[in-house]
Structures are given as C-alpha cells and as structure tokens.
Amino acid sequence: MRFSTVFGALASAALVTASPVSDLAKKHEVHGPPTVHHQVKNASEKIAPKVFIISMFSYEAAIWYDNAETEGSIGNLLEKNITVPGFSMLFPDAHCLADGSVCQLTTGESEINAASTISALMYSPYFDLTKTYFMIAGIAGINPKHGTLADVAISKYAVQVALQYEFDAREMPENWTTGYFPQGSYAPDEYPTSLYGTEVFELNEVLRDMAVGFASTATLNDSATAITYRANYNTSTLYTAATQKPSIITCDVATSDVYFSGALLGDAFENYTTLVTNGSATYCMTAQEDNASLEAMLRAAIVGLVDFSRIILMRTASDFDRPYPGDSVANNLLYNDVGGSTPAFENIYLAGTPIVKGILDGWDCTFAAGINATNYIGDVFGTLGGQPDFGPGSSYGGEGVVLSQVGLSRRDLYKKVMKN
C-alpha cells in the first residue's frame, strides 16, 4: 500500500472522470461495512469462488462496495459475508456475491497482516479455493523511470527488496552508493548467499498478459492535479514515462514495509530487483504486502489447496517513489499534493472489473481448466517444481546445494507436517 501524503485532499481532488465511480468522501469506517454472517454448516456448503479480490485496506475495498449499483459492475459483494477466524480484527469478513462466484477480503496493511490474513483464508474450512483466481488489487508508489500517476501495473515478479543487510547511510563505506546490501554478501552488487525463499516470486506470464488484455478495454481515470504535477518531471529525460497519461503497463512490484522516498533508495531497490532476478524484473511499483501474500499462497499450493498459476498482481500508482528534479524527499513523502490517490483507487475498479468479468465470461471455455504457464512460476527455491529462471543458478549458498533439491525438501517436509 502507498498513497499520496495529502490524504485529506482525496475527496476534493478534481477528477477527469472516465465512467461512474464511487464517492470516496463517504469514507467507510475502518472496520468496514455492516455484516450479515453466513454460517457454513458442512463441507458440502463450501464456497468455491471463481475470483477472489484481495484488498489491503479500507479505501481499496470500498471502491468495490461503492460501485455495486454502477452499470457494468460485477455486482454487490456484500450480499454474502463470512466471518473467518484468523482474519484482521479490523476486517474480519470475506465478502461475496450471492452465488459465491466472486469474493473479496481486506488483509490489513504491511507484510505481517497480509501473511496472517491470507494464511487464514488458505486454510479456512469455509472455502474451496482449488480453482480460484486471485487478484491482488491495490495502490502503490511508482518509479518515474517506468510509469506515472494513476497507471495500472500488472506484474510478473514480486521482489522483497527490504530483505537485506543495512547500514545507516551516514556510516556506510565511502565508495558505496547505498547502505543496503544483500544478505550473505559483502557489497551491494553481490548476489545474496543467504536466501530465505521469499525474495522473489514469479507469476504466470500467460495469465498476466490475458489480464492486461482485459484491463486494456478500460478507460482510466485521471485528475487535474495529477496532470499538473506530472509536468514537474519534464526536466529530466530519465522521467519521460512520468509525464505521460495513465495507461496499463507491465512491470514489477517491490515489497517493503518501510515507506521510502528518494532517488537513492529507489535506485538501490531497482538495482537489487535487477540483481536477484538476473535482469528479468523491472522495478516500477513499491508496495508493502505482496511477497507476504504470495508466500502464504505458495505454502497452500504445496498441499494442493490453491493453484499458484492462478494469481494476478495488479497495482495502481498513487504517488511517485522519488521527487522531481529540484524538489526534496521530504516534500515528496510528506507535503506535496500529487493528485494521484483518487484516480489510483478508481482505476483499481476500472481496470479490475474487466479482468474479473473476463474470467467469469470465459470460465467454461478457458479458465475453469486453468491457464498453462509457459514460464517458471514459484519462488527462488523451486518449491512448486521446476528450475527458477532467476537467482543464483544451480547452486545455493556456495555449498553446492541444488536449488530444486532445496525446494523439493521444503515441499515434502511441508506436506508431511500438514498431513499430521
């Protein structure tokens, strides 16, 4: 989650409106809408959603609720509400259409909340998720080298950029450009030799491209403030993308609980993203939760509770991760009204709705059977099978341990634990 720091201006920002959208000035209560609890009495009553929308906080969720009556919407997600043990205390329910075909939940912000909520969902007795498509749909900060305010990015990779060693920048070695460097390394440009397994996730590229096709039918929202603010990036050829109007883009997400600002940190995490994916990923979005959610799903996929090839990762740009030339990092993070928050929230719905509808409309002929991935999917260990096309190659930690064997051991151990 990232959003413009002048959040009080959210409702008053002038919109360049593409279609009927919600009034965010209504400001849903943090605990979410009133619930009518649906009790699942036995396994035969399990809800088997075709699509599950994952929001991270209240505004990302409200955009779906507020548009229930809008022409062309997916319907009222508050028709069936299920309290799930282990969900956030602030967002204790999953919300579904009456027929259970589409559901939505809110994890709560940050990695811990995301991992806890998604784990609770994965092992809930109320759902059959074996054929469900998951769409993580939230706002994020954007790298002005690769995109602009209100862009919609659909990603193939998620990289946990903050999982590194760190020196305070004031105490880092004189010839270094950043205080961050990979675990088990001795310099920022060395590949980590200590891997936890959550550093990188790769998703189904074929599904991503199908989602891009669906989302590209949407007319995206913008704001007058955002249009004016983008012009500040005209002074650098590095930031040409930042000056463009909103569009659907394909680039990747960096996960960090630290809400950072500035070109030095942005470049450091961009370089780390390039390093740990062997140049395959392009860092454009910065968010807090995605690697945590994906790890919870991967563990469930090990024992067949979900299909890891059915995950779509979509983020919309609410602010820039660094200031325009001549501005300060403090202004960028704390004071500037960039005008990106409102259209970013709206574009979650505008781009997300055709993706959901595309899956529902093509269920019988295409999506029920699954979308075969032509690329590797999973984590750096090869936990779900196959050999990662990113990472250190065939050896891990310099000790000759084959990564696929690490993944196999992890998978077999986890299955054994779950059976017991």
Over residues 201-245, the pLDDT tens digits come to 999 999 999 999 999 999 999 999 999 999 999 999 999 999 999
Residue 411 has pLDDT above 80, yes or no: no
| Residue 82: inside a domain | yes
Residues 375 and 390 reside in one and the same domain = no
From 281, 103, 117, select the one nearest 208 (Cα to Cα).
Answer: 281
* Model confidence, pTM: 0.88
Domain CATH for 75: 3.40.50.1580
Residue 397 has pLDDT above 50, yes or no: no
pLDDT (mean) for 101-123: 97
Counted domains in the chain: 2
Residue pair 183/194 in contact (Cβ under 8 Å)? The answer is yes
| Residue 282: inside a domain | yes
Whole-number percent of the chain with pLDDT over 70: 83
Q: What pLDDT score was predicted for residue 414?
A: 55
Which residues constitute the domain of residue 406? 380-420
Residues 336 and 417 reside in one and the same domain = no
The letter for the amino acid at 14 is A
The set of long-range contacts for 11-16, using a CB threshold of 8 Å and a minimum separation of 24, is 11/342, 13/223, 13/224, 13/225, 13/337, 13/339, 13/341, 13/342, 14/223, 14/224, 14/225, 15/221, 15/222, 15/223, 15/224, 15/342, 15/343, 15/346, 16/221, 16/222, 16/223, 16/224, 16/227, 16/343
Residue 15 has pLDDT above 70, yes or no: no
Residues 272 and 362 reside in one and the same domain = yes
Q: What is the DSSP string of 3-56?
A: --S-GGGTTTSPEE-SS----GGG---TT-S---B----SGGG-B--SEEEEES
Size of the chain in residues: 420
Confidence of residue 392 (pLDDT cuts 50, 70, 90): confident
Residues 365 and 413 reside in one and the same domain = no
Residues 218 and 153 reside in one and the same domain = yes
> In terms of DSSP bridges, do strands 283-287 and 311-320 run parallel, antiparallel, or are they unpaired?
unpaired
pLDDT (mean) for 174-195: 92
Q: What pLDDT score was predicted for residue 391?
A: 79
Confidence of residue 412 (pLDDT cuts 50, 70, 90): low
Phi, psi of 235 (to 5 degrees): -80, -5
Q: What pLDDT score was predicted for residue 7?
A: 47
Residue pair 211/203 in contact (Cβ under 8 Å)? The answer is no
Residue 156 has pLDDT above 90, yes or no: yes
| Residue 316: inside a domain | yes
pLDDT (mean) for 296-325: 97
Q: What is the tens place of the pLDDT at every residue in 341-374? A: 999 999 999 999 999 999 999 999 999 999 999 9
Residues 357 and 404 reside in one and the same domain = no
Upper half-sphere CA count for residue 204 (Cβ side, 13 Å): 18
| Residue 175: inside a domain | no
| Residue 192: inside a domain | no
Q: What pLDDT score was predicted for residue 110?
A: 94
Return d(Cα 270, Cα 278) in angstroms, integer: 12
> In terms of DSSP bridges, do strands 311-320 and 133-142 run parallel, antiparallel, or are they unpaired?
parallel
Residue 318 has pLDDT above 70, yes or no: yes
The letter for the amino acid at 343 is P
pLDDT (mean) for 262-270: 95
Q: What pLDDT score was predicted for residue 4?
A: 47
| Residue 132: inside a domain | yes
Return d(Cα 25, Cα 35) in angstroms, integer: 21
Residues 24 and 63 reside in one and the same domain = yes
| Residue 356: inside a domain | yes
Element (H, E) at 252: strand 252-255
- Determine the distance from the C-alpha atom of residue 8 to the mean position of all C-alpha atoms in its chain, rounded to a whole number: 24
Return d(Cα 197, Cα 187) in angstroms, integer: 20
Residues 144 and 225 reside in one and the same domain = yes
Higher pLDDT, 402 or 223: 223
Confidence of residue 6 (pLDDT cuts 50, 70, 90): very low
Residues 313 and 407 reside in one and the same domain = no
Question: What's the mean pLDDT when you consider all of the chain?
Answer: 87
Residues 306 and 413 reside in one and the same domain = no
Q: What pLDDT score was predicted for residue 395?
A: 40
Residues 267 and 390 reside in one and the same domain = no
| Residue 281: inside a domain | yes
Higher pLDDT, 117 or 45: 117
Q: What pLDDT score was predicted for residue 33?
A: 47
Residue 283 has pLDDT above 60, yes or no: yes
Residues 12 and 105 reside in one and the same domain = yes
